[in-house]
Structure 1
Amino acid sequence: MAKSTAQRQREYRERVKLRDEKANLEVSKSVFRRPFFEFMAQSGSAMDELLAPAGIEAPSFEDDRGPKAFALNGILEDNDEPFFADLVGSLGRAELVVDCLLDATADLAWHIKEYKRTEIKARLAEIEASDLSDPATKKAALKEATRLNKMLDQLDKQVRWTFPQWKVTG
């Protein structure tokens, strides 16, 4: 049976993608010759001190093993190979650590935001349900409601952190 135009296009895009990934890997090997773990051993890092207050053990880069050697609970199966093909050695593992920390941070920040929104809305509901017949009580409640609404407005905003660029393409 003849292939449809869409099938041929999908196969072509897949071939181009694989060719580009292979070229990027070859460029990386020719440019980044010294293993990343050797650089880390010489330059030192403050990761231990920065993560210790949060109770997080910093990753160590003592050899050139890649991400697959460190994945917990067999999370990196053979079917994940194309995704991790360009993550080679200690440098690939370090890049994956940055990506995972960013994703985990964004997830935790979202949960904190939602918790705070829920609690603030509960306090606003308490204010609305309270007896505001006394003028002094009403004034204090309105002041508190204004403060709580400002907090909700803050939680609706996005924050931006700047990082050095760590990914390059050939």
Structure 2
Amino acid sequence: MAKTSAEYQRAYRQRKAELAKRAGDPTDKVATQPFSEFLPNDGNWPVIEEVLDCVGVTPPAFDSDTDDQWQEQWGEPYRASIGRAERMVGAFLDAASGLASAIARYKRQEIDRAIADLEVSDLNDAASRKAALSQMMRLNQVREQLDRQVRWTLPQWKTTGDSK
């Protein structure tokens, strides 16, 4: 069975993406200083260390230009400390997204529990019924707020393509 033009295009894009991934980052060809030497002198590094320390995360050490966690089966070239730092950004973003989702699920669960408690409470007099309905409306608004997505703007940290 012959491929459609869309299938040819999809295969071409996949091959192109795989070649770009294997080629590495074009800035690797022009860098003269290892990232591990640059980072301690960067004015932002102490802030990063402090922020991580404040939440109980031990800041990573970049005392040598190595990447001991790199694995060949990833299909990416070994890029030393800069490759490790770039993967860390991705890991931190994934961890932050997962933690934010867990927090939102927890809060929704607690809101649903509080609403259920209000629904079965004694609402015989008008004042308590009015207060319970008001509280339920407020809790529903908070739950709706938790359904929204948040966008953070980050500087581009990965580059692709050939620097020829």
1:47 partner SS = helix
Aligned to 2:112: 121
Q: Distance in 1 between matches of 2:96 and 2:103?
A: 10
TM-score (norm 1): 0.79
- Report the alpha carbon displacement of residue 41 of structure 1 after superposing the two structures with TM: 2.1
1:61/1:90 contact within 8 Å kept? yes
1:32-69: CA deviation from partner (whole Å, max 9, x where unpaired):
23111111122241122111121001112111112xx1
Change (3 A) 1:156 1:63: same
Aligned to 2:32: 33
Change (3 A) 1:111 1:15: closer
2:52/2:58 contact within 8 Å kept? yes
Change (3 A) 1:97 1:144: same
Structure 2 matches for 1:146-165, cutoff 5 A?
146-165=137-156
Structure 2 matches for 1:132-143, cutoff 5 A?
132-143=123-134
- Report the alpha carbon displacement of residue 151 of structure 1 after superposing the two structures with TM: 0.6
2:35/2:82 contact within 8 Å kept? yes
Which among 74, 78, 92 is matched to residue 81 of structure 1?
A: 74
Change (3 A) 1:64 1:5: farther
Q: Distance in 2 between matches of 1:62 and 1:50?
A: 19
- Report the alpha carbon displacement of residue 5 of structure 1 after superposing the two structures with TM: 6.4
- Report the alpha carbon displacement of residue 24 of structure 1 after superposing the two structures with TM: 3.8
Q: Distance in 1 between matches of 2:17 and 2:133?
A: 59
Change (3 A) 1:90 1:50: same
Aligned to 2:96: 105
1:116-147: CA deviation from partner (whole Å, max 9, x where unpaired):
10110011011111121111111110111111
2:117 partner letter: E
2:151 partner SS = coil
Unpaired segments ≥5 residues, structure 1: none
- Report percent identity of matched pairs: 40
Count of matched residue positions in the alignment of Structure 1 and Structure 2: 154
1:69-95: CA deviation from partner (whole Å, max 9, x where unpaired):
1x4xxxx655x331xx14511111110
- Report the alpha carbon displacement of residue 162 of structure 1 after superposing the two structures with TM: 1.1
1:137 partner letter: S
Change (3 A) 1:160 1:23: same
Unpaired segments ≥5 residues, structure 2: none
2:21/2:160 contact within 8 Å kept? no
1:87/1:95 contact within 8 Å kept? no
